[in-house]
Amino acid sequence: MPDMSENDKTLTFSLKDEKEQEIKRILRAVYAALSEKGYNPINQIVGYLLSEDPTYITNHKNARSLIRKVDRDDLLNALVKSYLDL
């Protein structure tokens, strides 16, 4: 296996951070759309995560389409890491 330079490692971490930032941006947009429509956003997002049923997420502001761009496992991973401050 080729030896990776420090620059390569930094680039890898940077891409990972970018992905997590995109997940955070999408989750915040979905939360805002659900709030605007009068839903309890936490309950709706949890319902979506548990069931993988996209109807828990409103179409308002394209929120349903946005949340489906994120792999559910990646979303759960990011949420747990954030909760544990990792």
Would you state the structure tokens that stand for residue 64, as one six-digit string? 């349903």
pLDDT exceeds cutoff 80 at 2: no
45: Cβ–Cβ under 8 A, 6 or more apart, which residues? Answer: 27, 30, 31, 34, 56, 57
Three-state secondary structure along the chain?
A: CCCCCHHHHHHHHHHHHHHHHHHHHHHHHHHHHHHHCCCCHHHHHHHHHHHCCHHHCCCHHHHHHHHCCCCHHHHHHHHHHHHCCC
pLDDT, tens digit, 9 for 90 and up, residues 38-58: 999 999 999 999 999 999 999
Average pLDDT over residues 7-32: 80
Q: What is the pLDDT of residue 53?
A: 95
Q: Percentage of the chain surpassing pLDDT 70? A: 83
Angle at 83 between CA 46 and CA 65, to 5 degrees: 40
Angle at 28 between CA 38 and CA 43, to 5 degrees: 45
Average pLDDT over residues 20-47: 96
**Per-residue pLDDT band at 61 (split at 50, 70, 90):** very high
